[in-house]
């Protein structure tokens, strides 16, 4: 890794997600697909990051004073809808294919636009009531074991006398307990904050950690377990609001429905809404063991690249992988033409990674390939008859 290269939260996330994705993105520097979920996520993240700078009074917003853009939930929604429209138009008009958003279905851009008020109205109220954080997009940068780590923490705040690290998540408002309790990004943020405290006494004083900060960066701690960490599930808010309004309504009455089926459907819908309420804040903690796991995972990814042990880890996650097009292209390349080892055996090239390093291949003549294909086909038919 050159001096300029470093491990960021997204690099760690990608290495933890799929080695093939890591290889394509960070070693081959393939272009990422601009998936619609990421475009929407960036809009919401950016909106939260600059929330306090752009919040003004009605008068300031009307006069377009000091860069103030909104003053209540409705104007906040309109502002983000306008930004979204500009993103959509930009994607449609760009000549750069990498800048085009890959929509999941026709008209998704309008579905997202219409969903913005449902997210932004409760989000505005929540953020305003909670007040500004101590730090937003807090940068850290440290080196360890000849590796450089650099990142930005979405928010750091003090709550009930405790330091809180917050990461905003868009998309599905549900996260499993394993992800909440073990996600490497929060481990990384804790280690980054501790490293920052270690080198900057004034900073650690701001967080009230000056008495312990000399013990960080492996002296003996990497992770300070007293720091509270949490995911803020942005899209839990509209679901909670929907459940609140549903619970205020009277339960469906059989007499209000023309038939039994419609009645049962209405009951099911209500149960679904009331029985599936996500939480906005998912709290967790980290320990040193999490950090050791993280370092081991990083070293594992580096070693896998070095020895060429890279392969696609196919699964549901592929649908939301920004390397999915590059991955398909790469796999398509390595399976053509038929590859053979030195003895002329056909290689199952998905077992070894020819795309991760030089693989010696003895190219066979076209005739010889055809002959072998015939033999292979014959053996296959024989095997079939013998069943």
Pick the closer one to ligand SF4 by CB: 217 or 310.
Answer: 310
Per CB under 6 A, 356 contacts ligand SF4: no
Q: Does 37 bind ligand SF4 (CB under 6 A)?
A: no
Question: In angstroms, rounded to a whole number, what is the distance separating the alpha carbons of residues 28 and 5?
Answer: 14
Q: Is 20 a residue that touches ligand SF4 (CB under 6 A)?
A: yes
Closer residue to ligand SF4 (CB): 336 or 342 = 336
* Chain centroid to CA 59: 38
Part in contact with ligand SF4 (CB under 6 A); list of ranges 32-40, 243-251, 256-264, 320-328: 320-328
Range in contact with ligand SF4 (rule: CB under 6 A) among 27-35, 106-114, 215-223, 306-314: 306-314
Sequence-ordered strand ranges (E) for 112-224: 135-144, 147-159, 162-169
Stretch that binds ligand SF4, among 29-37, 87-95, 180-188, 308-316 (CB under 6 A): 308-316
Name the phi and psi angles at 121, rounded to 5: -60, -55
How many residues of this chain interact with ligand SF4, rule: CB under 6 A?
12
β-pair partners for 283? 230
Question: Going by C-beta distance under 8 Å and a sequence separation of 6 or more, which residues neighbour residue 302?
Answer: 1
Q: Which of 285, 310, 294, 40 is nearest to 151 (CA)?
A: 294
CB atoms within 10 A of CB 126: 16
Contacts of 230 (CB under 8 A, 6+ apart): 164, 165, 166, 167, 281, 282, 283, 284
Minimum Å gap between C-beta 312 and ligand SF4 is: 3
For residues 22 and 146, give the distance between their C-alpha atoms in angstroms, rounded to a whole number.
20
Q: Which of 12, 18, 37, 195 binds ligand SF4 (CB under 6 A)?
A: 18
**Sheet containing strand 135-144, strands side by side:** 135-144, 147-159, 162-169, 228-233, 281-284
Q: Which of 11, 21, 40, 169 binds ligand SF4 (CB under 6 A)?
A: 21
Indicate which single residue of 312, 339, 349, 352 sits in contact with ligand SF4 (rule: CB under 6 A). Answer: 312
Nearer to ligand SF4, 13 or 72 (CB): 13
The answer to whether residue 53 forms part of the interface with ligand SF4 (CB under 6 A) is no
- The correct pick among 318, 334, 338, 364 for binding ligand SF4 (CB under 6 A) is 318
Residues within the interface to ligand SF4 (CB under 6 A): 18, 20-21, 312-314, 317-318, 321, 323-324, 327
């Amino acid at each position: 890794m050159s001096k300029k290269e470093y491990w960021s939260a997204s690099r760690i996330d990608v290495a933890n997600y799929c080695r093939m994705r890591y290889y394509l993105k960070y070693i081959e520097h393939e272009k990422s697909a601009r998936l619609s979920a990421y475009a929407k996520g960036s809009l919401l993240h950016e909106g939260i990051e600059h929330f306090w700078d752009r919040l003004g009074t009605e008068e300031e917003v009307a006069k377009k004073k000091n860069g103030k853009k909104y003053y209540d939930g409705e104007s906040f929604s309109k502002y983000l809808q306008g930004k979204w429209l500009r993103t959509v138009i930009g994607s449609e008009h760009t000549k750069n294919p990498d800048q085009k958003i890959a929509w999941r279905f026709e008209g998704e851009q309008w579905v997202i636009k219409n969903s913005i008020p449902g997210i932004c109205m409760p989000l505005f109220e929540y953020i305003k009531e909670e007040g500004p954080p101590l730090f937003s997009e807090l940068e850290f940068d440290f080196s360890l074991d000849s590796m450089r780590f650099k990142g930005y923490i979405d928010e750091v705040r003090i709550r009930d006398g405790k330091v809180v690290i917050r990461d905003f998540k868009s998309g599905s408002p549900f996260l499993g307990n394993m992800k909440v309790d073990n996600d490497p990004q929060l481990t990384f943020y804790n280690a980054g904050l501790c490293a920052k405290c270690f080198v900057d006494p004034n900073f650690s004083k701001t967080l009230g950690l000056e008495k312990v900060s000399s013990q960080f960066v492996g002296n003996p701690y990497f992770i300070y377990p007293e720091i509270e960490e949490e995911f803020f599930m942005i899209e839990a808010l509209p679901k909670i609001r929907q459940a609140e309004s549903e619970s205020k309504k009277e339960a469906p009455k059989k007499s209000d429905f023309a038939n039994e089926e419609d009645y049962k459907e209405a009951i099911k819908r209500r149960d679904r809404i009331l029985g599936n309420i996500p939480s906005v804040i998912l709290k967790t903690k980290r320990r040193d063991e999490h950090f050791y796991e993280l370092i081991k995972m990083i070293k594992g990814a580096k070693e896998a690249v070095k020895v060429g042990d890279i392969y696609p880890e196919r699964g549901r996650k592929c649908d939301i992988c920004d390397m999915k097009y590059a991955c398909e292209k790469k796999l398509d390349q390595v399976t053509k033409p038929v590859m053979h080892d030195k003895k002329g055996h056909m290689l199952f090239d998905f077992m070894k990674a020819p795309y991760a390093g030089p693989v010696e291949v003895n190219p066979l003549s076209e005739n010889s390939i055809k002959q072998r294909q015939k033999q292979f086909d014959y053996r296959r038919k024989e095997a079939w008859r013998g069943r």
